[in-house]
């Protein structure tokens, strides 16, 4: 699988150093989730990823938590961090939305989207000003793309919302003003509305029977 927005960092613990992907934040009214990263890190130049590999896979730790590993060869799909983090604005909430059709199919064996872990960050010392969710997911786009809608914390007047479109080979961030040009260039038609879409924080991947 390829990586999207997955940025591991080295953390020092009482038991030693470890490379992890952090979701959310540590602190009051917050939730930080650390996902172990046991693979070569992607390289970035000026904030842009310059190595494109597809040998990443999801493993399971002894405690049952997900971990990112190096696979034996290339595999299709994406491992992605989806974030609603935005800018400081009182009373705003950042998250990611998914269509109910895809959300209803979140069975680990067949789902195009699996939610593996989540964290929560917040503004203000007490975490009561506003906040955002972050998610670690796997995606398996087939002939149809997987489309999310991202609403960053901060409010529409301060930070623009956008569609995040995953195909088998590429990821596109599409703002409203770019919709017509994107659809003409790619042939992918974006939903006219997200009415009825579900917050990923409320969607849980079903356990296999």
- Please give the average pLDDT of every successive group of 10 residues along the chain, which has 209 residues: 93 91 91 92 60 82 91 88 90 90 64 90 77 93 88 89 94 96 97 93 64
How far is the C-alpha of 7 from the C-alpha of 116, rounded, in Å?
16
Kindly state the tokens that stand for 115. Answer: 């939610």
Place of tokens 């190595």: 51
Give the pLDDT confidence score for residue 197 in this predicted structure: 95
Tell how strand 33-38 and strand 66-70 pair up. parallel
Can you spell out the DSSP letters for 2-55? EEES---EEEEETTEEEEEEEES--STT-B-EEEEEESPPPPEETTEE------
Give the pLDDT confidence score for residue 92 in this predicted structure: 87
- pTM equals 0.87
């Amino acid at each position: 699988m390829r990586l999207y927005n997955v940025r591991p960092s080295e953390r020092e613990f009482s038991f030693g150093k470890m490379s992890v992907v952090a979701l959310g934040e540590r602190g009051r009214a917050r939730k930080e989730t650390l996902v172990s990263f046991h693979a070569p890190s992607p390289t970035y130049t000026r904030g842009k990823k310059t190595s494109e590999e597809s040998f990443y896979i999801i493993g399971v730790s002894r405690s049952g938590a997900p971990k990112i590993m190096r696979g034996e060869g290339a595999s299709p799909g994406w491992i992605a961090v989806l974030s609603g983090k935005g800018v400081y604005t009182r009373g705003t909430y950042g998250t990611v939305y998914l269509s109910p059709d895809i959300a209803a199919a979140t069975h680990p064996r067949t789902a195009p989207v699996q939610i593996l872990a989540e964290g929560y960050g917040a503004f203000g010392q007490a975490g009561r000003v506003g906040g955002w969710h972050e998610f670690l997911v796997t995606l398996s786009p087939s002939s149809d793309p997987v489309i999310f809608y991202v609403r960053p914390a901060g409010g529409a007047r301060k930070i623009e919302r956008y569609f995040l479109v995953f195909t088998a080979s590429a990821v596109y961030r599409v703002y409203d003003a770019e919709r017509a040009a994107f659809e003409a260039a790619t042939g992918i038609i974006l939903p006219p509305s997200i009415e009825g879409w579900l917050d990923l924080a409320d969607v849980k991947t079903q356990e296999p029977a």
